[in-house]
Structure 1
Amino acid sequence: MTTASPWWTPHVHADRRPRLLARNRIKAALRAWFTDRGFVEVETAALQVSPGNEAHLAAFATRAIGPDGRGMPLYLHTSPEFACKKLLAAGERRIVSLAPVYRNRERGPLHHPEFTMVEWYRAGEPYGALMGDCAALLALAAETAGTNRFRFRDREADPFAEPERLGVAEAFARFAGIDLLATVAADGATDREALHAAVTAAGLRTAPDDTWADLFSRVLVERVEPELGQGRATILCEYPVPEAALARPSPDDPRVAERFELYACGVELANGFGELTDADEQRRRFLAEMDEKERVYGERYPLDEDFLAALAQMPEASGIALGFDRLVMLATGARRIEEVIWTPVAGGSR
């Protein structure tokens, strides 16, 4: 059995190097783009008291030992979000972070345990402004890489075309024949049995212990996501409130929230929000997420009480996180995320 050469072997590095240099150029171009628009680049601590409170995100845990020998549990952040929102509460208006983040239990062609996230916030600006940002950054990455097409597997997209905007409910109806919002009440309560019946009728597998969220995710992953971002990018927007724990409800329909995701070539690139600033509601949602995490994985993460206190002072804002490595993948035609990471973490495919 032949073992693949490690990434640091000279001939392997020589093959990888053009994409890595393109990565550097794209990063420099993005930094200049944000600077030109008045964004302040911030550096947030990777070690946090809470790594985030989403049910299906797994973190790396560690322990800080003080001079007295006493320990304190800490986590590598899964996103700089909590720290960035504290900076908004402190008075910053436009900020951007380009930094490594860490997620456990994630490894594959599009996943790496350490990856680079571009996260930016606009205080006092609508979340629709982030959609314009996304369109501009897709074009900038393509131009910098010297390509006019994004490619991944058998899919292509024009990074210079205006992205399609598609509501989640419309996508469920179009690609799965499911009336999603018929299973969501005005107060955000969900009808698991109604969605289960619709998913079964659509020919998708179900399990007796599937929650409403499980069923939603299955339709999204199996029927909706593969259809997105073909020919041009797609902005999938107006997520149901139960699937938008950090977003404020839409003023047009209380069943949906100001959340969108950006897709190109079937690949999720970014996740944007009109940010929730109601600290009590945020606490309620976090606790619900941690209850679900405990049910599924047998563990829960602490709440960042300092974050919740800052949230009460945070101005209305919009924010978004973009997977930088995935953007570079599409711009350079890479097949796996390790091809665009300078020094991949050991243990993955080479």
Structure 2
Amino acid sequence: MLEWYCADFSLFDMMEQCEDLIRAVAHGLGKDETLSYQGRIIRLEKPWSRSMVSETFLRHAAIPVEEALSSGRFDEIMGLDIEPELGHGAPVFLYDYPASQGSLARVDPGNPGCVLRFELYIGGMELCNAFSELTDPEEQRLRFEKELAIRGRLRKTTYPMPEKFLNALRFMPEAAGCAMGIDRLAMLFTDAKTIDEVTAFTPETL
């Protein structure tokens, strides 16, 4: 996993940086503007597509995102119905995630029901997860307290409040952060069908 942060970056700045990084890898490998993965051609010309989560549910799921959330099926539908359909002809950024799906991300000031988070999909795989960092320690504390209360009601293990982390947020500038799956990137550029083909060892060998 490659993880990095950029001060004073917006979420859309981070999208552009992801585009440039992956295109630079492609050009370095002689792939130019196209990538062949599992028998499909993926075009890498900028700008890459952007799609809101709510719109994507309407296109690929049997129920809208609101119903998926209320029924506890959001992750199930994302994993089984939506993710496999994304990023085949060209990469796509999925953004405007529901607020409940981004506990460390800033709320979108223009759409308070969503957080400033995106995931990048190429060839039906999630390649990146990124968001505008929540740097308000008081708001972050309230989110942690809410999560701990839920875990307590469900009789799940609860954990101490991460005071060092919350204190560090006071000194963090506005920033966007991104985590990229290097193993999945290797899959794309080697046309590997499974992640086991590009890792030094599989979990079964441990």
TM over 0.5: yes
Aligned-partner Cα distance in 2 for 1:122–1:213: 36
Determine if the alignment matches structure 1 residue 249 to structure 2 residue 107. Answer: yes
1:149 aligns with 2:35: yes
The residue identity in structure 2 corresponding to 1:227 is: E
Q: After TM superposition, which residue ranges in structure 1, 4 or more long, deviate above 4 angstroms? A: 153-156, 290-297
Match of 2:23 in 1: 139
1:305 and 2:189 matched: no
Q: Residue 320 and residue 296 in structure 1: after superposition, are their counterparts in 2 closer, same or farther (change >3 A)?
A: farther
Matched, 1:335 2:196: no
Shift of 1:291: 5.2
> Which one-letter code corresponds to 1:215 in the other structure?
R
Contact 1:150 1:265 in 2 (8 A): no
Q: Look up the match of 1:166.
A: 51
Question: Which residue among 136, 146, 153 is the counterpart of 1:278?
Answer: 136
Label 1:267 to 1:291 Cα distance change in 2 as closer, same or farther (>3 A).
Answer: farther
User: Contact conserved, 1:279 with 1:308, CA < 8 A, in 2?
Assistant: yes
Does residue 344 of structure 1 match 2:201? yes
Give 1:283 deviation, angstroms: 2.0
TM-score, scaled relative to structure 2: 0.86
Gaps of 5+ in 1: 1-116, 184-194, 200-210
Mark the CA change 1:212 to 1:310 in structure 2 (over 3 Å): closer, same or farther: same
CA distance in 1, matches of 2:148, 2:135: 19
Secondary structure (helix, strand or coil) at the match of 2:97 reads: coil
The residue identity in structure 2 corresponding to 1:119 is E
Question: Structure 1: which amino acid aligns with 2:114?
Answer: V
Query: What is the identity, as a one-letter code, of the residue corresponding to 1:315?
Result: P
Partners of 1:297 and 1:228 in 2: CA distance = 37
Q: The residue matched to 1:221 in structure 2 has which SS?
A: helix
Query: What code does the residue aligned with 1:137 have?
Result: L
Partner in structure 2 of residue 235 of structure 1: 93
Q: Tell me the equivalent position of 1:129.
A: 13
For residue 269 of structure 1, the aligned residue among 106, 112, 127 is 127
Residues 175-210 of structure 1 show CA distances to partners (whole Å, capped at 9, x for unaligned) of: 225443xx4xxxxxxxxxxx2xxx5xxxxxxxxxxx
1:150 Cα deviation after fit: 4.5
What are the residue-to-residue correspondences of 1:53-72 with 2, within 5 Å? none
> Would you tell me which structure has more strand in proportion to its own residues?
2
CA distance in 2, matches of 1:120, 1:169: 27
* 1:318 counterpart SS class: strand
Kindly state the Cα deviation for residue 287 of structure 1 after the two structures are TM-superposed: 3.7
Relative to 1, partners in 2 of residues 1:313 and 1:224: Cα closer, same or farther, differing over 3 Å? same
Q: 1:149·1:158 contact (CA, 8 Å) conserved in 2?
A: yes
Q: CA deviation at 1:294?
A: 6.5
Mapped to 2, the partners of 1:154 and 1:215 lie a distance apart of 31
Q: Partner residue of 1:60?
A: none
Answer whether contact 1:260 1:273 (CA < 8 A) is retained. yes
- 1:149 aligned partner, one-letter code: L
- TM-align CA RMSD: 2.6
* Distance in 2 of aligned mates of 1:346 and 1:157: 30
Alignment of 1:1-350 (within 5 A): 117-147=1-31, 148-151=34-37, 153=38, 155-176=40-61, 178-180=63-65, 183=66, 195=67, 212=70, 214-290=72-148, 298-341=156-199, 343-345=200-202, 347=204
Q: 1:57: which partner in 2?
A: none
Q: Distance in 2 between matches of 1:326 and 1:294?
A: 36
Give 1:212 deviation, angstroms: 3.3
Q: How many residues align?
A: 204
**Which structure is larger by alpha-carbon Rg, 1 or 2?**
1
Q: 1:332 to 1:300 in 2, by over 3 A?
A: farther
Query: How far is the alpha carbon of 1:284 from its aligned partner?
Result: 2.5
Alignment gaps of 5+ in structure 2 = none
Name the counterpart of 1:114: none
Gap change, CA 1:340 and 1:295, over 3 Å in 2: farther
- Aligned identity (percent) is 38
User: What are the superposed Cα offsets for residues 201-256 of structure 1, whole Å, 9 maximum, x if unpaired?
Assistant: xxxxxxxxxx7373111222222212210100010001011111111111211111
Aligned partners of 1:303, 1:245: CA distance in 2, in Å? 14
Deviation at residue 161 of structure 1 after TM alignment: 4.8
Kept after mapping to 2: 8 A contact 1:161/1:233? no
Q: Report the alpha carbon displacement of residue 301 of structure 1 after superposing the two structures with TM.
A: 4.3
Distance 2:134 2:153 in 1: 25
Paired residues of 1:156 and 1:265 also in contact (CA < 8 A): no
